Copies of this chain bind each other. A is one copy, B any other.
Amino acid sequence: MTSTSETPVHVPAASPKRAHGPAKYLPILAWGREYNRGTFSADFIAAIIVTIMLIPQSLAYALLAGLPPQAGLYASMAPLLAYALFGTSRALAVGPVAVVSLMTAASIGALSLDSPQAYWGAALLLALLSGLFLLGLSLLRLGFLANFLSHPVISGFITASGLLIAASQLKHILGISAHGHTLVEVLHSLWQGLSDVNWTTAGLGFSALAFLFWVRKHFKPLLKRLGLSEGVAAAVTRAGPVFAVFATTLVTALFSLEEQGVAIVGNVPNALPGFSLPAWDMELVQMLIGPAILISIIGFVESVSVAQTLAARKRQQIDPNQELLALGAANVGAAFTGGYPVTGGFARSIVNYDAGAATPAAGLFTAAGIGLATVFLVPLLYFLPKATLAATIIVAVLTLVDFSVLKRTWAYSKADFAAVLITILLTLTRGVEEGVTAGLLVSIGLYLYRTSKPHIAVVGRVAGTEHFRNILRHNVETREDLISIRVDESLYFANARYLEDAVYDLATQSAATKHVVLMCSAVNFIDASALESLEALNHRLHDAGIMLHLTEIKGPVMDRLQKTELLDELSGQVFLSHHQAISSL
Contact = CB atoms under 8 A, between A and B. Distances in A.
Interface of A: 17, 144, 147-153, 312, 315, 408-409, 411-413, 415-416, 443-444, 447-448, 450-455, 457, 462, 465-467, 469-470, 472-473, 488-490, 492-498, 505, 521-525, 527-529, 531-532, 536, 540, 543, 554-556, 560, 563-564, 576-577, 579
A311 to B, nearest CB: 11
Contact of A467 (B144, B416, B532, B579): B579
A492 to B, nearest CB: 6
Given A149-B493, A555-B470, A412 B577 contact: no
B528 A577 contact: no
Nearest to A155: B528
A312 B413 contact: no
A450 B147 contact: no
A465 B144 CA distance: 38
Given A150-B527, A462-B576, A554-B488, A412 B563 contact: yes
Given A415-B527, A465-B577, 10 more contacts: A147-B493, A149-B493, A150-B493, A315-B543, A409-B528, A416-B527, A444-B448, A457-B554, A521-B522, A522-B522
A451 B447 CA distance: 11
Contact of A528 (B412, B525, B536): B412
Given A488-B524, A488-B554, A525-B450, A494 B148 contact: yes
Given A152-B529, A443-B493, A467-B466, A452 B147 contact: yes
Given A150-B493, A524-B488, A579 B465 contact: yes
B147 A498 contact: yes
Contact of A532 (B151, B488, B495, B536): B151
A387 to B, nearest CB: 38
28 contacts: A17-B505, A147-B496, A148-B493, A150-B493, A409-B528, A412-B531, A412-B563, A412-B564, A413-B527, A413-B528, A416-B528, A447-B448, A447-B494, A450-B525, A455-B554, A457-B554, A457-B555, A466-B467, A466-B579, A467-B577, A467-B579, A470-B554, A488-B556, A489-B524, A522-B522, A522-B523, A522-B524, A522-B554
B527 A492 contact: no
A147 B494 contact: yes
Contacts of A462: 576-577
Contact of A563 (B144, B411, B525): B411
Nearest to A508: B17
Chain B CB count within 10 A is highest, among A411, A473, A524, A560, for: A524
Nearest to A313: B543
A148 B457 CA distance: 24
Nearest to A147: B494
- Interface SS majority for chain A: helix
Chain B CB count within 10 A is highest, among A457, A473, A495, A497, for: A497
Contacts of A472: 555
Contacts of A147: 452, 493-498
Chain B CB count within 10 A is highest, among A416, A543, A564, for: A416
A454 to B, nearest CB: 7
B465 A151 contact: no
B524 A454 contact: yes
A521 B576 CA distance: 15
B152 A528 contact: yes
A102 B247 CA distance: 73
Contacts of A497: 147
Chain B CB count within 10 A is highest, among A466, A523, A543, A555, for: A555
Contacts of A555: 457, 469-470, 472-473
Contacts of A17: 505
A448 B411 CA distance: 26
A532 B150 CA distance: 11
A496 B147 CA distance: 8
Contacts of A560: 412-413
Contacts of A466: 465-467, 579
Contacts of A543: 315
Nearest to A408: B528
Chain B CB count within 10 A is highest, among A151, A443, A444, for: A151
